[in-house]
Structures are given as C-alpha cells and as structure tokens.
Amino acid sequence: MTSPGGGTGLDAGRTRKLIADVARSVIDAADELTALDAAIGDGDHGENMKRGFEAILADLDALSAMPAPELCRAIGAKLLSTVGGASGALYGSFFLALAKSLPVEPSRASAAAAFGDAVDAVRARGKSDFGEKTMLDVLIPVQRIFATGGDVVAIRQAARKAAEATIPILATRGRASFLGERSIGHMDPGARSSALMIDAICAQFGEE
C-alpha cells in the first residue's frame, strides 16, 4: 500500500473516506448509544460521541491531508476537547498515545504495536482492565487478534462479539459500576462505540 497523501497506508482520498465513515457510523448510532447509556449510566454517551465526531467531520479537509501520527494527534485533541464525560478522556488518551507510537509509514507490525500502546493508555487513564464492562472489553481482544495476525474479518467479528459479551457481566468501573448487580443484562455503551469504530475501520481496510 502506498500513501502519497495520508501516511495511513491509504491515499488522501481513502483517508478522507476512512475518517468520514468512522464518524458517520458513530453519529448514526447516537440514539442507540444514548439508550445503552440511559440503561446503565447517565444517558449521554450518544450525544457526547456525536459532538466529537461532528467536530471531526467539520475539519475533514485538513485532517485528510495529515500524516498518520499527526492525524491521530488531531483526532485525540478534538475528542478530548469536545466529547466530555469519561469516554472523552479515554478515547482522547487512546488517539494521543496512538499518535506517539505510530510511524509515518506504519507496517502492520508497527500499527499493531501502536494500537497496543493506545490500549495501555486507556488502561492507565481509566485504572481499568479487561472484564470490567467497559470499552476495554472490546479494545483488548481486538488488540490481541491484531497483534497475532488476525485479518479484518476476524477483527470485526471479535469486536462485535466482545461488545455483546459485556451484556451478562457486572460493571466494576465507570458510572455503570454504581448500579452493582443492576448493570447486568445491558451492553456497555463504550464497548458498543468501540466496536462500531473498529467495524468502520475494518470495512475500509477490507476494501482492497
């Protein structure tokens, strides 16, 4: 893959489509994310994420022309300043850490390593780990599959299943943990938004 425009392994046109598709998939799911958060949180996850990704769409021209690390830094900064809530800080940390580790011309191995550093940044910021009914329940298994050579089909499937797997578990981090046993039986909103973003990214990389 060559990258005359973006440094994402995609040209500037495909980088633009990638950013736009990820943003639209989150924006289109705002009501669903809000409903999930209304069940076990405070009902703002959809609006929070929509605000962040609308800000990203508003800057699409400039973002599409950036090399991969700069693009990730700009997305992280935007999410930090616009999303709010726990997810704004956590997704912001994710993309800022990705920006630090990602080379301008990432190989699969260096992209997987950078993704691992970004997941570690969420762990550190959230003081959280796998199995606590958060976005990490999707990000961690996806990182493992990415690092061990899984293809986009396997990654998409794993992300969807991992979000669904948060339904029967008890939340021990974030707002949902305040509900105790009543958090059982609902999908975690951040796990769902992570799965949606991963799905949209994989859809783009699957189109060769």
Of 117, 87, 83, the C-alpha closest to 99 is 117
Residues constituting the chain: 208
Q: Which lies closer to Mg ion via its Cβ, residue 37 or residue 137?
A: 37
**Contact partner at residue 136 from ligand ADP, Mg ion, none, CB < 5 to 8 Å by partner kind:** ligand ADP
> Residue of minimal CB distance from Mg ion?
41
Among 41, 52, 76, 106, binds ligand ADP (CB under 6 A): 41
CB of 186 to Mg ion, least distance (A): 13
**What secondary structure does DSSP assign to 35-60, as a single string?**
HHHHHHS-S-HHHHHHHHHHHHHHTH
Q: Which lies closer to ligand ADP via its Cβ, residue 6 or residue 91?
A: 91
Cβ–Cβ < 8 Å for 28, 53: no
DSSP structure class, residue 4:
S
Residue 154 has a CB neighbour count (10 Å cut-off) of 15
DSSP structure class, residue 170:
P
* Contacts of residue 66, Cβ cutoff 8 Å, sequence gap at least 6: 6, 7, 74
What gap in Å lies between CA 60 and CA 75, rounded to an integer?
10
Residues 100-159 within binding reach of ligand ADP (CB under 6 A):
122, 126-128, 134-136
Residue span 151-190 as binding mask against ligand ADP, x where in contact by CB under 6 A, dash where not: ----------------------xxx------------xxx
Residues 55-84 within binding reach of ligand ADP (CB under 6 A):
none
* Binding flag, residue 42, ligand ADP (CB under 6 A): yes
Total residues in contact with ligand ADP, by rule CB under 6 A: 24
CB of 32 to ligand ADP, least distance (A): 13
What gap in Å lies between CA 164 and CA 180, rounded to an integer?
19
CB of 46 to Mg ion, least distance (A): 9
Number of helices and strands in the chain (H, E)? 10, 0
Residues in contact with ligand ADP by the rule CB under 6 A: 37, 41-42, 44-45, 48, 85-87, 90, 122, 126-128, 134-136, 173-175, 188-191
